[in-house]
Every structure is written in C-alpha cells, then in structure tokens.
Chain A
Amino acid sequence: QSVLTQPPSVSGAPGQRVTISCTGGSSNIGAGYDVHWYQQLPGTAPKLVIYEFSNRPSGVPDRFSGSKSGTSASLAITGLQAEDEADYYCQSYDSSLSGYVFGTGTKVTVL
C-alpha cells in the first residue's frame, strides 16, 4: 500500500483541463519533501514530466503544470490531447520508511 494516494482515473475531452491529486502525510509531502510526476505511456518506461512540484524538464509541453497545497500536490493538463492518454504517478521521499515512494497511479483517458 502506497503512502501517496491518487484517484484511480480521470477523463476529459480533447482540449479540456484535467487535474490529478497526490495526497500524502506528515512524513513525506508535509515534511517538506518535493513531489515529482511521471507519465507512463502503455508498454513504456516512466518519463519525468514535472519535478520539484512545478518545474518542467526540457521538452515537456507547457500544457503540463504542477502545484502544492499542504500535504498534497496536483498535476494539471490543460488543452488535453490524445497523446496525453497514459498513467501518471507522483513520487516523493518518506522519512518514516527511509525510502522513496510512488503514488498509487492515475489513468488519464481522453474521451
């Protein structure tokens, strides 16, 4: 069982905006550890899309954005495109576990 909780699925029509939440606790996000987001297209390895809550690596479209609020983080995709259909995972560090943790994962479906 992951210590970072995400909704199992979100969906939206092309062009719409969707958000994915990542809820943690006092030993991870609440303790000040950063949150990063990965996109996993079917049958491929994860790819970093947001680091340190809100920064985009080079090459990631500005449709992707991130934010933090208390012990949670969020990933938003605006102007949703068919190519955004994938699984998304948040990731942080947990001091109680003394290790890295991933969220439960969210499947984004483009209607």
Chain B
Amino acid sequence: QVQLVQSGAEVKQSGASVKVSCKASGYTFTGYYMHWVRQAPGQGLEWMGWINTNSGDTNYAQDFQGRVTMTRDTSINTAYMELSRLRSDDTAVYYCARYLPVVDYFDHWGQGALVTVSS
C-alpha cells in the first residue's frame, strides 16, 4: 500500500533552516510528483510547491520563492523540503502529498511534521 512517512518534529531558532523528509513506499516513486503543503496552528492549508521526482524540476509558490528548496533522492525514494530564514510564522505542520500530473489532486498524504520556530 502507498505510504508517505515523514521525519519527526523539529524545534528551530528564528533565522535557521529546517529540512523535512518524506519517504515513499508502495509505488513507483518517480512516477508521481511530490507537493508540499503546510498548516499553521488552527489555520487552513497552504500550498508551497512541487518537485517532479523524475526530472528534479521544481515549482514554488510565490510566497516561498527564495526561501524554499525541494529536492529528492531517487535511490532511497525520499523527497525533501528545506525552508530557510525561519520566522515565528513558519511554525506549522508540513505535509508531503503525492500527485499525478494527469490529474491535479493529492491522493495520498504524509502524516505531517511539526516545525516550531522559537525566537
């Protein structure tokens, strides 16, 4: 069965960087894009961007351009999202979500990784 297992919770200082991983299993990793979505405490869902796990091409939401980097390691079926210059309002649960280009919805999600930014 399809599984997306994310890394654990992190606490970071303001100004630091965080890198969250998402390990995929149960399907052909390079056959799907991986998107990243975040959710601040008590708030809604916010799309951050995607990575084509086959080519490595990326597309980032305007609000995150210059601060976010999405990468992947096809040898271990893992996608990564790194966010730099962290601020207190980056405190959120970060989700990875699988996406098939011929449709435009997210059919499987990781369990989420809580990132807390302290000043």
Contacts and interface: CB of A to CB of B under 8 A. Distances in A.
A64 interface: no
A99 B62 contact: yes
A46 B46 CA distance: 12
Contacts of A52: 103, 105
Interface stretch (B8-16, B69-77, B83-91, B109-117): B109-117
Contacts of A100: 35, 47, 104
B112 A45 contact: yes
A91 B45 CA distance: 10
Interface residues of B, number: 21
A56 interface: no
B104 A46 contact: no
Interface of B: 35, 37, 44-47, 49, 59, 61-62, 95, 97, 103-107, 109-112
A101 B47 contact: yes
B107 A105 contact: no
Closest 8 pairs (CB-CB, A-B): A36-B105, A45-B109, A102-B45, A100-B47, A105-B44, A51-B105, A99-B61, A45-B112
A57 interface: yes
Interface of A: 2, 33-34, 36, 38, 44-48, 51-52, 57, 89, 91, 93, 97-105
Chain B contact surface mostly = strand
Nearest to B44: A105
A36 B47 CA distance: 14
Given A89-B44, A100-B47, 20 more contacts: A34-B104, A34-B105, A36-B104, A36-B105, A36-B106, A38-B106, A45-B95, A45-B109, A45-B111, A47-B109, A48-B105, A48-B106, A48-B107, A51-B105, A57-B107, A91-B45, A91-B105, A98-B62, A99-B49, A100-B35
Contacts of B103: 34, 51-52
B45 A46 contact: yes
A34 B45 CA distance: 18
